[in-house]
Chain A
Amino acid sequence: MDIRVQEAAFDYGAECARFADGRSGIGAVVTFCGVVRNDGGSLQAMEIEHYPGMTERALRQIAEEAGKRWALADCLIIHRYGRLTPGERIMMVATASAHRADAFAAADFLMDYLKSRAPFWKKESTADGSEWVAAKSADEAALARWSRRA
Chain B
Amino acid sequence: MATTIEQPEKTKAEPQLLGLLAEFDDPHALIEASKKVRDAGYSKWDTHTPFPLHGIDEAMGIKWTILPWIVACCGLMGGTIAVSMQYWMNAVDYPFLISGKPLFSIPASIPITFELSVLLAAFGAFLGMLGLNQLPKLYNPMFKSQAFRRVTNDRFFISMDAKDAKFSEIDTGEFLNSLNPLQVEEFWSDVESPKLPRPLILALSFVGVLLIMPPALVAYKRSTTTNTPRIHIIQDMDFQPYLKTQNTTNIFADGREVRPHIEGTIPRGQYKDDNIPFYYGLKELPEDQDVIAIALQDEAKPADGKVEASKPADTPPADPSAATATEDKLADLPWVTEFPMPVTEKMMARGKESYSIYCSACHGLGGEGDGLVSLRAMELQQGTWVRPASYHTENVRNLPVGRLFHTISNGVRKMPGYAAQIPPEDRWAIVLYLRALQKSHQIDAKDLRQEEVEKLRTTK
Interaction A to B: no
